[in-house]
Structure 1
Amino acid sequence: MTTLPDRPHTALLVIDVQNGVVANAHDRDGVIANINVLLERARAQDVPVIWVQHADEQLVRGSESWQYVPELVQHEGEPLVHKNYGDSFEGTDLEALLAERGVGRVVVTGASTDACIRSTLHGAFVRGYDVTLVADAHTTDDLSAYGAPPPAQVIAHTNLYWKWQSAPGRSAGTVDTADVVFAPTPVA
């Protein structure tokens, strides 16, 4: 249903699962295990996998905290997008990578739920993509000391509101890892 013409394919986005981002994240190991399940499934179905890696003052490029967690391994030919903003599209070549692969739907995983995941969900949606959030494959730190709800509530709320997103010609939704389908969603 994407509004992007001639873009029938789906891609898996793995966003910011970096040492410094997920070191203290809620259900870190469970989320990483689910992302690995999705990576295996996407690769078996020749679905493009695109990695996104954030850099800023706390995540200095080349540092240990900037590196991807060792449990997730990027395969040769899977592009890596370097970003400096929450939205993975902003100031990056993500759109060009998706366009050259004919991608009109993205399946979103990674960290942090209340920052880069939300920004990328909305960034993709307003650009015309169909956007699926994997409910049990994104996470965040406990920021309740700063006034945020506990991480489980942040994740649950994001899953809830993304499930009901709508816009003309695009679809959004939230599914668990076990229910992810990479084939295009049929038009009813």
Structure 2
Amino acid sequence: MIRTTALLVIDAQVGIVEGPGIGPVYEHAQFVQTMKSLIEKARSQSVPVFYVQDVDVAEHGAEAYAIHPAIAPLPGEPVIQKKATDSFYGTDLHEQLQSHGINHLVIMGCKTEYCVDSACRKATTLGYDVTLVKDAHSTTDNEVLQAEQIIAHHNTVLHGLGNLEPFVIVRGSDEDVLVPSHDSYR
């Protein structure tokens, strides 16, 4: 099967990445730089970039609501507004991906244990192979774990997670994550 890739950027909004309130996320400056590099690489290779924006982060139009300016979408790049943790629930994300013939998603964004985790899991049940970029998702500390522990935990738990045929692979941004490697494990 031919794999067609899209890059999915989840909730990389100013209010989460930089704060105040929800953020800043763990190692936010490096996190933004890693996302920026991957977005530029995707664009240079004509890999479509899809953005998901959480409507509950801040009031629409507020600076905190905006996608981080260092990685802002270009005109014509889809921005999907969501109300739920699951990027697919109540949105047309799946339909848009299908209209582009996408069957492999490279996922990065915020927050690891909520929206990133949900997107990875849901994508496999919808038939997508997923590459989670291990150093391009981030979160904040909680009452039990430090952000670094949450990220490491999810990189371990999600690697190899599958639902029937599609599954998640966790790879670093130093690898060619835009080229799916799932078939080498099948």
Regarding TM over 0.5, the answer is yes
Where in structure 2 are there 5+ consecutive unaligned residues? 19-23
Question: What do the CA deviations read for 1:89-112 (whole angstroms, capped 9, x no partner)?
Answer: 010110111001100110000000
In structure 2, give the amino acid aligned to 1:14.
V
How many Å separate the matches in 1 of 2:61 and 2:122?
Answer: 26
1:115 — aligned with what?
Answer: 114
Q: Classify the secondary structure of the residue corresponding to 1:11.
A: strand
1:74 — aligned with what?
Answer: 73
TM-score, normalised to structure 2, is 0.90
1:22 aligns with 2:17: yes
2:63 — aligned with what?
Answer: 64
In structure 2, give the amino acid aligned to 1:32.
V
Farther-moved stretch of structure 1 (32-41 vs 173-182): 173-182
2:47 — aligned with what?
Answer: 47
Select which of 170, 173, 178 maps to 2:169. 173
Farther-moved stretch of structure 1 (95-104 vs 171-180): 171-180
TM-score, normalised to structure 1, is 0.89
Where in structure 1 are there 5+ consecutive unaligned residues? 2-6
The answer to which structure, 1 or 2, has the higher relative contact order (CA under 8 A, 6+ apart) is 1
- The verdict on how the C-alpha distance between 1:157 and 1:186 changes in structure 2, with shifts beyond 3 A counting, is closer
Cα pair 1:16 1:52 within 8 Å, conserved: yes
Q: CA deviation at 1:10?
A: 0.7
Cα pair 2:129 2:182 within 8 Å, conserved: no
Cα pair 1:134 1:180 within 8 Å, conserved: no
1:187 aligns with 2:186: no
Select which of 159, 168, 181 maps to 1:163. 159
CA RMSD of aligned residues (A): 1.5
In structure 1, give the amino acid aligned to 2:41.
R
In structure 2, give the amino acid aligned to 1:94.
L
Question: What do the CA deviations read for 1:33-78 (whole angstroms, capped 9, x no partner)?
Answer: 111111111111110100110012x522222211111211211221
1:9 — aligned with what?
Answer: 4
Question: Displaced runs of 4+ in structure 1, greater than 6 A?
Answer: none
How many Å separate the matches in 2 of 1:89 and 1:49?
Answer: 16
Cα pair 1:22 1:141 within 8 Å, conserved: no
Question: What do the CA deviations read for 1:105-144 (whole angstroms, capped 9, x no partner)?
Answer: 1000000001111111111111111011100000001222
Q: CA deviation at 1:86?
A: 0.6
2:136 — aligned with what?
Answer: 137
Q: Classify the secondary structure of the residue corresponding to 1:115.
A: helix
In structure 1, give the amino acid aligned to 2:3.
P
Q: CA deviation at 1:29?
A: 0.8
Q: CA deviation at 1:83?
A: 0.5
Farther-moved stretch of structure 1 (25-34 vs 177-186): 177-186
Q: CA deviation at 1:19?
A: 1.2
What number of residue pairs does the alignment pair up? 179
How many Å separate the matches in 2 of 1:138 and 1:177?
Answer: 11
